[in-house]
A and B are shown apart, each in its own frame.
Chain A
Amino acid sequence: MTHLEIENLASDYLEGLLEPTQQAAVEAHLAACAACRELLEDVRHAVDLCRAAEDAEPKPWLVSRIMQATVGERAPNWRERIAAYLRPVLQPRVAYPIAMTVFTFSIIVNAAGLNLRSLRFEDLNPRTWANRANRQGHMLAARAEKFYYDLRVVYEIESRLRRLGGQPQIQEEPSPQPAAPGGGSSQGAPADQTVASYGGAWVVVAAEREPAIAAAGNHTGFTRAGRSLIP
């Protein structure tokens, strides 16, 4: 076997890929040829150096850089697309007017008594809206008036109980005053009746006991309004 043949078979010999006969021939040549032994040692050293070489470490951001260069920014999903579409609308300068418009519209619809689920043709008439809004307003005023007098009743009951608990001499209270003779009784009676009609039975008692309060109720004007509004 020649030196050139040894060179051609160097890798196969080092990797153990030679036929047994070739293997024996190479080993026989190597036993007698120092130059070829040295050559094969050098090749073995080069291969070992390659296989022992550690991988070069790429920069950590290389994958991100390639992602950026290939697919660019990550494609948004449908939620992000909707959010991006609505983003100008959601600016405060636009969102507040929209919210106020919706709020105003809801108040108008509520005041007009419109049922949006079963809308009729006459519901679209502005006169119907005005009538319903007027009625709603009066109903609201009547409820507020009744609530006001209910509060007076509560106050009266509490003051009466306080008075009964602290002063056992009930006879000293000015209860006889409504029964005073003359025009006083005839003027106080309508006020008492008015209060009784809106405040209930307790108010009658209160008016009898406290004509001053009943008179104050007349001054508020609620009584007059109540007469005309509440059927």
Chain B
Amino acid sequence: MDQDLELLERCLSGENSAWEGLLRVYTRKIYNLCYRFTGRVEEAEDLTQEVFIKVFQTLRSFDAAQGSFSTWLHRVARNHLVDHYRRTKKDRMTGSIEDDLEILEERPSPGAGPTGHLEARERQEQLQRALDRLSPDLREAVVLRDLNDLDYLEISQVLGVPQGTVKSRINRGRLELARVLKRMEGMRGPAEAGSEP
């Protein structure tokens, strides 16, 4: 925390190396947030860059009395992601159960991979597809809590909602995620059964 503030002060005094230090600390987290939100590598990279450009331009508006730099950064990123979601809503294809079936038919089953690495990768992709099925409100709550490991207070500051709302969204998001995962595994089961001789 103190290190962030020190880097921030140096950055505000025009020291580029301090800004680079902040980037090296937080790029990975913000990129993961963007990736979990969009599910696309290129889009996540572009969004990460846009978030940090916005942060760089509004760096002086950060107030340490209102929370940590990490929380402020996540809030900026989350707002940008919401804006991006609204902006691209018309262009985005609404997924359907048929899409899931096509994806599952194209992919090998978890047990078919030659190594455990492929299985882990398969689980990651399955999780990402399940997260994509959640509504943005629920998805961001689950991602911030279970993937970015923020606590309830931090999430409430990032989202700008009371902690009770945060807890409710996280709970509903987890329930929805569990149902989507189960449905996807249920579709995989018959597909695997059908592929076996």
Contacts and interface: CB of A to CB of B under 8 A. Distances in A.
A, B co-complexed = yes
B32 A63 contact: no
A42 B181 contact: yes
Interface of B: 14, 16, 19-20, 23-24, 27-28, 31-32, 35-36, 41, 44-45, 48-49, 52-53, 56, 120, 123-124, 127, 130, 142, 146-147, 167, 170-171, 174-175, 177-179, 181-182
A70 B56 contact: yes
Contacts of B170: 11
B27 A56 contact: no
Given A10-B171, A45-B181, A56-B31, 15 more contacts: A10-B174, A43-B174, A49-B127, A50-B127, A50-B142, A51-B146, A53-B124, A56-B44, A58-B28, A59-B45, A62-B27, A63-B24, A65-B49, A75-B14, A75-B16
19 contacts: A11-B167, A11-B170, A11-B174, A12-B167, A43-B175, A43-B178, A47-B146, A47-B174, A50-B177, A56-B35, A56-B41, A58-B31, A59-B45, A67-B16, A67-B20, A69-B52, A70-B52, A70-B56, A71-B19
Contacts of B142: 50
A7 interface: yes
A67 B23 contact: yes
Nearest to A68: B49
Interface of B is mostly: helix
A34 interface: no
Given A55-B28, A56-B32, A71 B178 contact: no
Contacts of A69: 49, 52-53
A69 B31 CA distance: 16
Contacts of B44: 56
